[in-house]
């Protein structure tokens, strides 16, 4: 059982909010949950918890959104993401993750703000771009569990419609989360404590995901993109704050 009743209640609330966000937008579970949960649970425990929960969440969303999935478009992203996972797993074990949090937050904030004010520059060779974006995302997924922002920002830049955005993102996340979790098992990162937390947080994960899926069909394209950029910006700022020890 979690260390205290306060930790359990706080964890359930955060997981519910994060999984609702994921169900709604197709992303946001790690972005919302990790910066808050590391306040009361060790980052080395939080990261594998989030990865394990992400497998279930993304599977549920993909079942609902599968008709909009375009694997021909995103397969380079998936392959590159998998390639970055071993490096990220190694960094999780040996590196001070706070340094990585500050770095990624500092890089993401200016891009998110630029897109908010209307800047976009279409990339014609998506497959080439996906190679670098996927590798960075896979690395960050394994080391911090927050690997979504590079992919999210690229999809926003490319003007991907809402439903395709959700379906492609969750398919990518499902593969990456599964491979990351396997890497965690092999490297001993998934402990008995991690499994216990994952089980206790499961009801909030299921309820939040279902709630988000129901809300997903009630927002328009422009609002969807605004939500995406706001969530990414908040996550990046939270990453910097947590990395600097501000919270």
Q: Say if CB 37 and CB 6 are below 8 A apart.
A: no
Determine contact, residues 50/61, Cβ cutoff 8 Å.
no
Residue 118: strand, helix, or coil: coil
pLDDT of amino acid 153: 84
- State in Å, rounded, how far the first CA of the chain is from the last one: 25
For residue 76, what pLDDT band results from cuts at 50, 70 and 90? very high
Over residues 159-199, the pLDDT tens digits come to 888 889 889 989 998 998 898 888 888 888 899 999 999 99
The answer on pLDDT for 2 being more than 60 is: no
> What is the per-residue pLDDT across 97-123, written as a single tens digit (0 to 9) for each?
677 778 777 877 887 787 777 777 778
Q: How open is the CA angle 117-237-162, to the nearest 5 degrees?
A: 50
190 φ/ψ sector (left φ>0, alpha ψ -120 to 50, else beta): beta
Ramachandran category for residue 245: left, alpha or beta (phi over 0 → left; psi -120 to 50 → alpha)? left
pLDDT score recorded for residue 241: 82
- Domain-wise residue ranges, the chain: 5-243
DSSP 46-76: HHHHHHHHHHHHHHHHHHHHGGG--HHHHHH
- Whether the CB-CB separation of 29 and 19 falls below 8 Å is answered with yes
| Arithmetic mean of pLDDT over the chain | 85
Taking a C-beta distance cutoff of 8 angstroms, is the pair 12, 201 a contact?
Answer: yes
Whether residue 135 is predicted with pLDDT greater than 90 in this model: the reply is yes
Quick: pLDDT tens for 225-247. 787 778 778 777 877 887 787 76
- The answer, yes or no, to whether residue 210 has pLDDT greater than 90, is yes
Contacts of 192 (CB under 8 A, 6+ apart): none
């Amino acid at each position: 059982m979690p260390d205290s009743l306060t930790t359990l209640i706080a964890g359930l609330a955060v997981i519910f909010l994060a999984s609702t966000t994921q169900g709604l937008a197709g992303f946001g579970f790690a972005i919302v949950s990790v910066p808050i949960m590391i306040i009361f649970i060790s980052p080395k425990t939080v990261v594998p918890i989030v990865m394990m929960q992400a497998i279930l969440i993304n599977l549920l969303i993909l079942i609902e959104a599968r008709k909009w999935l375009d694997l021909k478009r995103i397969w380079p992203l998936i392959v590159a993401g998998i390639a970055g996972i071993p490096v990220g797993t190694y960094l999780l074990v040996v590196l001070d993750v706070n340094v990585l949090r500050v770095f990624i937050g500092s890089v993401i904030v200016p891009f998110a703000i630029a897109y908010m004010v209307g800047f976009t520059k279409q990339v014609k060779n998506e497959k080439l771009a996906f190679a670098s974006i996927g590798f960075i995302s896979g690395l960050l997924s394994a080391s911090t569990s927050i690997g979504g922002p590079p992919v999210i920002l690229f999809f926003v830049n490319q003007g991907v419609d809402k439903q395709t955005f959700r379906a492609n993102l969750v398919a990518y996340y499902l593969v990456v989360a599964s491979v990351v979790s396997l890497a965690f098992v092999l490297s001993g990162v998934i402990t008995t404590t991690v499994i216990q937390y994952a089980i206790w947080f499961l009801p909030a994960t299921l309820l939040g995901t279902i709630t988000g899926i129901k809300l997903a069909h009630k927002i328009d394209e422009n609002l969807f993109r605004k939500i995406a950029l706001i969530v990414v910006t908040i996550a990046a700022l939270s990453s910097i704050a947590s990395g600097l020890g501000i919270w």
